[in-house]
Amino acid sequence: MADVIVVGGGIIGLTAGVRLAEGGASVELWSPVGPAETVSAVAAAVWFPSRSEPDPRLVTWAGVAYREFARQAEDGVPGVRMLPTVNRSRTDPWWAPATPGVETRFTAPACEMEIYLPWLQERFTAAGGRLRKREITTFDEVPGDTVVNATGLAAGRLCGDLAVYPVRGQVVLVRNPGLTTSVRDEERSLYVHPRGADVVLGGTFEAGNWDVTPDPAARAAIVARCTEAVPELAGAEIVGEKVGLRPARRGGPRVEREGRIVHAYGHGGAGMTLSWGCAEEITRLVDLDNG
């Protein structure tokens, strides 16, 4: 039997699995779908603790993740790069003073999740981690002394946590006209994130909306306000769109141990931003040597 079973195959579950497996634990990761089918695959995935509630833990986790992604970009990890970024929000984020280098203009790690998540899964299995395609209806179905609950929105049902809710996000993908700088404005729910061949235009932030069908009116509004902010986008060809449900939680992420279960859910739209820092916290909470 595995030392730890991680339930949830998004970026929180995968990074936790990697840290635990590379730390010497025997780890299984249970998920009903592959990485490409998780909400993490929909994410624009540019580092920024978006719409996070004030919490000193988030500063620590975000800082750890920033440094890890920066190292990965330098090492040439597939899908990871450092992206010049302009923050046009009228107020600085609450966490900016505690995180060096975050100003109106800064450089942010960015991931193309279609590339990065499969790489992360391969890193997990290379460390000895084992994957199981399985969905659970209760944690009683999961054997063993230590379980990591990285189930995202499903945690609301599995834990009876009424603070968990979806935040619908729709993005539009357009062909990249040559942009190299990311632009964001939190007050307008606006972001323009250039990647290799395309640009991610966002977005929507619709709390409580479970609908994953693309909305043509939202698409048109996203393209209009992003083009107003970045005129170089005028006439850019639309090549795709995505809708995902961010796993938000009133009160912020729940990362704590409860009996044999280490909870790690409720990261909202900041899963990538907090991932590696949360993975370190999860590893401390698992504490196989003393648990």
pLDDT, position 288: 63
| DSSP helix/strand/coil, 5 | strand
- Give all strands of the β-sheet with 147-149 in edge-to-edge order: 130-133, 27-31, 4-7, 147-149, 261-265, 254-258
Q: Is 275 left (phi over 0), alpha (psi -120 to 50) or beta?
A: alpha
pLDDT at 132: 96
In this prediction the pTM is 0.92
**Predicted local distance difference test score (pLDDT) of residue 279:** 98
Element (DSSP H or E) covering residue 69: helix 56-75
pLDDT of residue 55: 82
The reported pLDDT for the residue numbered 240 is 95
pLDDT number for residue 287: 83
Query: What CATH homologous superfamily does 4-286 map to?
Result: NAD(P)-binding Rossmann-like Domain (3.40.50.720)
pLDDT of residue 146: 97
What's residue 267's pLDDT?
A: 95
H or E element, residue 202: strand 198-202
Q: What is the pLDDT of residue 103?
A: 53
Instruction: Report the pLDDT value the prediction gives residue 247, as an integer from 0 to 100.
Output: 96
Per-residue pLDDT at 169: 95
Q: Which residues of the chain have pLDDT under 70?
A: 51-54, 90-103, 288-291
- pLDDT computed for residue 87 by the predictor: 85
